[in-house]
Amino acid sequence: MKTKVVVIGGAGFLGSHTADELSRRGYDVTLFDQKKSDWLREDQKMYIGSILDRQSLREAMKGAKIIYHFAGIADIKEASVRPLDTIQLNVIGTSTVLDVARELGIHWIIFASTMYVYSPHGSFYRASKQSAETIIEAYHEEFGLDYTILRYGSLYGPRAQSWNGLRSYVKQIVLKGRLDYDGSGKERREYIHVKDAARLSVDVLDKEHKNRAITVTGTQSLNSSELLEMIFEIAGIEQEINYIPGPHHRHHYTMTPYRYTPKSAKKLIPEEFIDLGEGILEIVEEIHNQDEAPGLE
């Protein structure tokens, strides 16, 4: 009999790719989100509901052995202007998921966190993830609920939200032929393609990864200037960038997030991975093919 896995936030960017990877590996996959997934497979089930609604969660999670929790506010800018909503969804919502899991006797929670938990930056988004991690650890201590915390680096690839950093750069360059960039160009990130991140997210379903935090990131580290130069070259557009350093960039770290250490984490990187240039080309083609880019060849 297949093991039932519920992916909360399964209609989203990373959630949908992880759900696909779970299905490919033979799990019985159920998605839970506020709207139906545009990428729902025939062999997957879908429940619509809120992570604040215990009854909806209970119906979806019944019979599951493993829960992936990707839901909540993930945009740092949105979190900074919606602090109470961020706390409600990212902290209270996560607590609700944990409590329903405890009630149903579910064995294992996989929680999507962020590299920003190491940093003094990230505003209410970072604070909400740090809080959620602490609550997850407390549920393990009090009730024996196993967990794995996945702290993701900079994700990119197909199905990304409009606010996703790399996608937003590609879109502006392709559609406008230029870029207004909030920052100095010195910001450094370790990029990982979402499909590589999804594979690693399923690879952790092993006893050795229980009750620990894991950093999920890539091997391709670039500063923003190098990344943007690559995008312009791949798009075949002459480079024109307007750098806008200023206080609006205060929520993001520049070179490294490592200041505050909530709990030590093992680092996972893919042995085989999608090349960053290939991934950027994929996004350029995706934007070209969408209705938002009429007239582009």
93-123, pLDDT tens digit by residue? 999 999 999 999 999 999 999 988 988 888 9
For 31, the domain range is: 4-289
Residue 130 inside a domain? The answer is yes
- The closest alpha carbon to 118, from 127, 110, 109, belongs to 127
Residue 294 inside a domain? The answer is no
Residue 88 inside a domain? The answer is yes
Instruction: Count the domains in the chain.
Output: 1
243-290, pLDDT tens digit by residue? 987 655 556 555 455 455 565 676 777 766 788 888 888 888 888 777
Can you read off the two tokens belonging to residue 75?
């945009």
| Contact between 7 and 70 (Cβ < 8 Å) | yes
CB 275: neighbour CB atoms within 10 A?
Answer: 10
202-241, pLDDT tens digit by residue? 999 999 999 999 999 887 778 889 999 999 999 999 999 9
pLDDT of residue 297: 37
Question: What type of residue is 175?
Answer: L
Residue 81 inside a domain? The answer is yes
pLDDT of residue 293: 44
CB 73: neighbour CB atoms within 10 A?
Answer: 19
CATH number at 168 reads: 3.40.50.720
CB burial class (10 A; 0-12, 13-18, 19+) of residue 42?
exposed
Residue 297 inside a domain? The answer is no
Give the strand pairing for 146-152 and 179-181: unpaired
Distances (CA, A) of 146 to 16, 102, 137, 210, 250: 23, 10, 9, 6, 35
Per-residue pLDDT at 163 exceeds 90:
no
